[in-house]
Amino acid sequence: MGRLEGKKSVILGAAGQGNMGQVIAKRFRDEGADVLVAGRKEDELKRFATEISGHYALCDLTVEADIQALAESAKSQMGGVDIAINATGVGFLKPFLENTREELEMMAALQLTGPFQFYQAMIKAMSDNKPSGGSLIQISSATATIMLNDHAAYMGTKAATDHIIRCVAHEFGEHGIRANSISPGLTRTPMTAGVDQVPGLVESFEARYPLGRIGTSEDIAAAAVFLASDECYMTGENLQVNGGLCLRGNPTRKDQELMMGAIAAAS
């Protein structure tokens, strides 16, 4: 029997082929969960849901009505919600002084307001369970804890959702609902596919990882299985699933320049 046998799971942010949300969904399916994947691209969601014998629903996290409809879709397609994961995000990088109000509002809508309303809708759906209870999981980022240049809007909104997760854990633990974050570091996903083309970037990160390699989506999926399973006696925590990156901190521009120089000298 799988560790998630009989669990009903919603994974938002699984509309990109091979992305972290899809890797988590496959692992959950393999562990016995019923899986509903959600996002904004219907063709890919439909294809992937068929591949894993799951369900899908369209949902734009910045649209409150979509979030409410997602909760209703999960109840109608699976009969309820035991596990809800927000794996959405956008890799927005820009120098601090150049961030515009419109960009800040965009990041807040996607990585603060939207997740807040997602938690609200999923908690209500979990509360319909008899007995009530469940697991909320937010995919955060190591950069919500440690510094990296040109990421202020991204880091700030991720850090905000980490703290909201703690609030959920505090308030809804008495209902059997756990809430935790997972913080990857630099991870090989479709969103980061271009990092290998930047001279010295991967090497400068690997030098900062005590475990000597950057992460994979499978690393994150393994952590998500634990947090979603009944064996998890943890709530309000932020799991740093990043090979020890937070022990040393992200590389600086100077680190990258030094690494590029070393690569050039060796070639």
pTM above 0.85, yes or no: yes
Cβ proximity of 182 and 232 under 8 Å: no
106 vs 203, residue with greater confidence: 106
Is the pLDDT score of 197 beyond 70?
no
Return the CATH number of 8-193+214-245, one of 3.40.50.720, 1.10.645.10, 1.20.120.80, 3.30.70.1230. Answer: 3.40.50.720
Give the position of tokens 């509360």.
127
**196 C-beta neighbours (distance < 10 Å), count:** 10
- What element of type H or E holds 180? strand 177-182
- Comparing 67 with 198, the larger pLDDT belongs to 67
Identify which has the larger pLDDT, 98 or 214: 98
For residue 260, what pLDDT band results from cuts at 50, 70 and 90? low
What pLDDT shows up at residue 198? 65
Q: Are 13 and 24 in contact (CB under 8 A)?
A: no
The string of pLDDT tens digits covering residues 122-169 is 999 998 877 779 999 999 999 899 888 888 999 999 999 999 999 999
In this prediction, residue 202 has a pLDDT band, given cuts at 50, 70 and 90, of confident
Q: How far is CA 34 from CA 17, 59, 67, 88, 229, in A?
A: 20, 18, 19, 20, 13
pLDDT 10s digits, 26-42: 999 999 999 999 999 99
Answer whether residue 267 shows pLDDT above 50.
no
pLDDT reported for residue 214:
87
Are 20 and 38 contacting, i.e. CB atoms less than 8 angstroms apart?
no
| Spans of all domains in the chain | 8-193+214-245
Query: DSSP readout, 249-267?
Result: -PPPHHHHHHHHHHHHHH-
The string of pLDDT tens digits covering residues 160-193 is 999 999 999 999 999 999 999 999 998 877 766 6
Residue pair 178/185 in contact (Cβ under 8 Å)? The answer is: no
- Among all residues, which ones are annotated catalytic? 154
- Proportion of the chain above pLDDT 70, given as a percent: 91
